[in-house]
């Protein structure tokens, strides 16, 4: 029983935020094959995985 309680407690500590307002999306650097100036955010999934869907957001300056 202690094991199950420990799992429940561990699961409660590892919460992730799945909803962001546009001003709170955590953008970062783009991969090296893209020109500098843009920013990228992984919104869902894992682009580095060998299979599966993913969604990314790009933020680009005027004239990019």
Domain definitions of the chain by residue range: 22-64
pTM assigned to the model: 0.61
Mean pLDDT for all residues in the chain: 80
Per-residue pLDDT tens digits for 26-40: 999 998 998 899 999
Residue 55 has phi, psi (to 5 degrees) of -130, 130
Helix, strand, coil shares of the chain, percent, nearest 5, are 25, 25, 55
């Amino acid at each position: 029983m202690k094991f199950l309680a420990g799992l429940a407690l561990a699961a409660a500590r590892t919460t992730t935020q799945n909803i962001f307002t546009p001003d709170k999306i955590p953008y970062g650097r783009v991969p090296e094959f893209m020109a500098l100036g843009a920013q990228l955010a992984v919104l869902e999934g894992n682009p580095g995985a060998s299979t599966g869907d993913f969604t990314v957001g790009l933020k680009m300056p005027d004239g990019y």
